[in-house]
Structure 1
Amino acid sequence: MKKLFRKKPIDDLLLKSGNIQLPKTIGPFDLILLGVGAIVGTGIFILPGTVSALHAGPGIVFSFAIAAAVCALAALCYSEFASTVPVAGSAYSYSYIVFGEIIAWLVGWALLLEYGLATAAVATGWSGYFISLLEGLNIHLPVALTGAFSPEKGMYINLPAICIIFAIGALLTLGMKESTRFNALLVAIKIGVILLFIVVGVFYVKPDNWAPFLPFGMSGVFTGAALVFFAYLGFDAVSSAAAEVKNPQRNMPIGIIGSLIICTLLYVIVSLVLTGIVPYKNLNVADPVSFAMEVVHQEWAAGIISLGAVIGMMTVILVMMYGGTRLLMAFARDGLMPKMLAQLSPKRKTPVKNTWLFTVVISFFAGFVPLDMLAELVNMGTMVAFIFVSAGILYLRKNKDLPENRFKVPFYPVLPIISFVLCIFLITQLSMHTWIACGLWFIIGIVIYLVYGKRHSSLN
């Protein structure tokens, strides 16, 4: 039993990661763009419509604010860990230090669920927008190649979703410097498209559409907060870049918290404009932002926004895949998965083998599996990680040998405790089928750990 809870010393973790040298090429501005690239995607182009129509009404702005508050508290905790232990692996590596091996493995396993299924879900959404764009250009793909396996609908494989995942996987193998440049370009285009919607849409807002502001009451707002949590996925993936960041003690908090602030402002403003243009009951559509522009007969803007959605989702896929590959690398570094997954390409200095493995597995889910209700599953994986990171700060502070120049969560221990409680509250808002599905996922993870990870751990 002692073996299950053995902890990895911080110095040992830093020393081990030193044997696998990733080039330090990422600055604070790159980190903020990585965060915005990961966060602003499906959350802003799809969720404001469906969640407001079914759960929160115009009060979705409060849902976004509540989810952002929970994320902000978790972000402060992530920032302290990332500046103290600047290594790959995110919450998995942090849990290894304070809780022990089995808890770290389960947190990492939950994160793998988040990164993998979020990538597959966003790729599927990207495919829908991409197919619509092609049809606008009078290019029609065979129906059999446009959706997950569903013979009754005549669909057998979602080819565009598979292609975009392989394209992003190939980009990641080239190196982080090239990937951040590509991400910066796409983020600039994406933000421009969102600002276009706000500037054009604000002239068509009718305040009457905001009444009643809370048609489903505060319970609807809280349910909405648990669902729009999906919209903030990605800031935690930024912490996966810690090993490749210049001056992580200063730059990690700037990147994590800065990206969260920018995205929250965009979400709230877009939601207000959207529900002001179109009555919330009419927003349960696949492309609510473009739909709102069509309602006010601004088809030119709707077309540009559809293109922006395609571009925006590509950056989400990029950062989520990046987080997943660095997590696999951390598993392999510690012996919990085969060592080949931690090997770097001599030329590119990137984990090419694990990148292609992650790409192939995720492309299968995106291509063949229907992903209608994945937002809740992904949220569960994220909140499990947040819970342990928040609680972990209480243990981290007990270590008096840590450097004093690191970032520290203010108002300790109040804020970490509040973050811990709020994450547990939001996780209780998820449905029973989500709990069952995640339970099965964790059972699979425990079996893999007992059969392989425990025997091959570098702590043996």
Structure 2
Amino acid sequence: MSLVARMFQKEELSTYLDNDKHLNRTLTVKDLLGLGIGAVIGTGIFILPGTVAATTTGPAVVISFLLAAVVCALVAMAYGEFSATLPVAGSAYSYGNIVFGEVVGWVLGWALILEYFLAVAAVATGWSAYFTSLISPIIKLPKAFTGAFDPAHGTYGNLVAILVILVIAFSLRKGMTTSKKTENLLVLLKLAIILIFIVVGFFYIKSSNYHPFIPKRMHDSFGFQGVLTGAAMVFFSFLGFDALSGSAAEVKNPSRNLPLGIIGTLVIAAVLYSLVAFVLVGMVNYTQLNVADPVSFALHHVGQNAISMIIAVGALIGMYTMMYATIYSSSRLIYAIGRDGLLPGKLGQINKNGVPTRALIISTVIIAVFAGLIPLDKLVDLVSFGTLLAFTVVSLGIIPLRKRKDIKHNGFKMPGYPVLPIIATLFSLSLMTQLHVETLITAGIWFLIGIIIYLVYGIHHSTLNRD
């Protein structure tokens, strides 16, 4: 077999199902919604509606959120079909292996590793800053332990960021059976805080703040074009629902529950984002909302300072649940790649509790190093690149997936085939082209490293190469 033929050799679904059978299937639709909402709705819900309204859309930011949700729904339906048809661990990595071939799966896995690790590290850094600020009236942490490793500026590591990651990993060590209860409780608390803002804020809405609903076009902002630009900006606030597909091997009745969890997460997120945006721009004129914390600003503006403190707690909970869901997903991704022999260290091993402990430990250590020691300012855009690459391949992958006669298609199917999968693919590609050139160059270097690792190690140790 030639090198190229070997690189594009496809894995059998039955092999993955057999390998993953030792993982415990304990997750229900309720648990998936907890994971999904935990991953998608973070601090962005308290920030993006205000800043996008002030700079780009005006009160029509509500329409921008709804447009972004519609586009995300297309990709969510693609993930829903894949996860229902291929209920295995590894998300887009495993889908790529089965539908396109091992090298495509590896590239997607390599992209998702970057996405998950950087996303959690960046949020952990934000959580640390928020937490440190919140407790500063009581406890003042030493400056040396509040930032990345930068001796010239007096910082040697972000201790709080490292600790919160370790706490989450510790809660995941026994699997989802026990830790999912805490996650679900925190998600409910976060939703309650969001609803408190919506209900309280509703009584301070002034109809005059909605006029003009779509401000006149000026300075490359506002107008209908501004609404479309705003949709592209808030699109990234919905990212995270894709991580649910990585839990497929631990879901009860995955052909039914996974599509419900993925699409349900998106519907709930769209409703909450839109309601928060509607109330926010009704409370305060959109021109005043270009601040770091627009929701807190709006509450202070109407004299609700106590509720503003509750929102701060909600932001911390939102970041925590996002990190929880993503660390969980990243460990299952590392497990799936290790399961196929493409990474060393027996990362595909599962302990007596049905948890891939080695993969969880490796994920935790790398994320903690990123969050605690490395400045992430210039790297966060790579999260979007990795996500959009996976969105593109999964959306396009619906077409060859439908043509596979050796795979049962008894679960959810993406409607509008093949038109909607193609539209979802094109939209994901178009968003990728909007990323900064520096991001694309850095991504190119990352993938070059990945291909070298695959050719030097992965392809020779792959389970597909054992014959």
Name the TM-score class by shorter chain. over 0.9
Q: Where does residue 4 of structure 1 map in the other structure?
A: 7
User: Contact 1:331/1:337 (CA < 8 Å) preserved in 2?
Assistant: yes
2:323 aligns to what?
317
Q: How much has 1:135 moved relative to structure 2?
A: 2.2
Matches within 5 A, 1:154-303: 154-212=154-212, 213-214=214-215, 216-217=221-222, 218-303=224-309
Amino acid at match of 2:189: I
CA gap 1:193/1:120 in 2 versus in 1, 3 angstroms = same
Deviations 1:245-270 (A, max 9, x none): 11111111111101110011001111
SS across alignment from 1:249: helix
Aligned equivalents of 1:66, 1:152: Cα separation in 2: 46
Query: 1:323 Cα shift?
Result: 0.9
What's 1:436 paired with? 441
1:67 equivalent in structure 2: 68
Between stretches 212-221 and 189-198, larger displacement belongs to 212-221
The C-alpha deviation readout for 1:64-97, integer Å capped at 9, x for no partner, is 2232122111111111111111110001111111
Q: Distance in 2 between matches of 1:208 and 1:371?
A: 41
Mapped contact 2:243–2:326 kept (Cα < 8 A): yes
Match of 2:410 in 1: 405
* Separation in structure 2 between the aligned mates of residue 411 and residue 350 of structure 1, nearest angstrom: 38
Task: State the alpha-carbon separation in 2 of the partners of residues 219 and 381 from structure 1.
Answer: 27
**3-state SS in 2 of match to 1:157:** strand
Residue 15 of structure 1 and its aligned partner are, at CA, apart by 2.6
Aligned residues of 1:39 and 1:232 also touching (Cα < 8 A): yes
Q: Which residue of 2 aligns with 1:337?
A: 343
Distance 1:142 1:105, change over 3 A: same
Give, in angstroms, the shift of residue 373 of structure 1. 5.3
Distance 1:64 1:375, change over 3 A: farther
Q: Contact 1:126–1:313 at 8 Å: present in 2 too?
A: yes
Compared CA separation, residues 158 and 56, structure 1 to 2 (3 A): farther
Does the CA contact (< 8 Å) of 2:395 and 2:424 recur in 1? yes
- Contact kept, 8 Å, 1:226 with 1:427, in 2: the verdict is no
Instruction: Give the distance between the partners of 1:293 and 1:157, measured in 2 at CA.
Output: 34
Unaligned runs of 5+ in 2: none
Report the more deviating stretch, 243-252 or 331-340. Answer: 331-340
1:353 equivalent among 341, 352, 358: 358
Partner of 2:31: 30
CA change 1:334–1:421 in 2 (3 A) is: same
Residue 288 of structure 1 deviates from its aligned partner by 2.5
1:17–1:425 CA distance, 2 compared to 1 (3 A)? same
What CA deviation, in whole Å up to 9, does each residue of 1:404-447 have, x standing for no partner? 42211112112111111111122222222221222222122112
Kept after mapping to 1: 8 A contact 2:10/2:102: yes
* Residues 1:260 and 1:200: Cα distance change in structure 2 (over 3 Å): same
* Aligned equivalent of 2:373: 368
Match in the other structure for 2:312: 306
Which secondary structure does the structure 2 equivalent of 1:89 belong to? coil
CA deviation map 1:128-165 (0-9, x unaligned): 221122125x2221222222345565433221111111
**In structure 1, what is the Cα distance between the partners aligned to 2:355 and 2:52?**
39
Pair 247,334 (structure 1): closer, same or farther in 2 beyond 3 Å: same
Larger CA deviation: 377-386 vs 398-407? 398-407
Counterpart for residue 18 of structure 2? 15
Between the aligned residues of both structures, percent identity stands at 53
Moved more, 142-151 or 180-189: 142-151
Q: CA distance change for structure 1 residues 12 and 344 in 2, over 3 Å: closer, same or farther?
A: closer
How is 1:94-105 mapped onto 2 (pairs within 5 angstroms)? Answer: 94-105=95-106
Partners of 2:26 and 2:417 in 1: CA distance: 32
In the superposition, the TM-score normalised over structure 2's length comes to 0.92
* Alpha-carbon distance in structure 1 between the residues aligned to 2:382 and 2:62: 23
Q: Contact 2:340 / 2:348 at 8 angstroms: preserved in 1?
A: no
Residue 155 of structure 2 aligns to a residue in which SS?
coil
Q: For 1:402, what is the secondary structure of its paired residue? A: coil
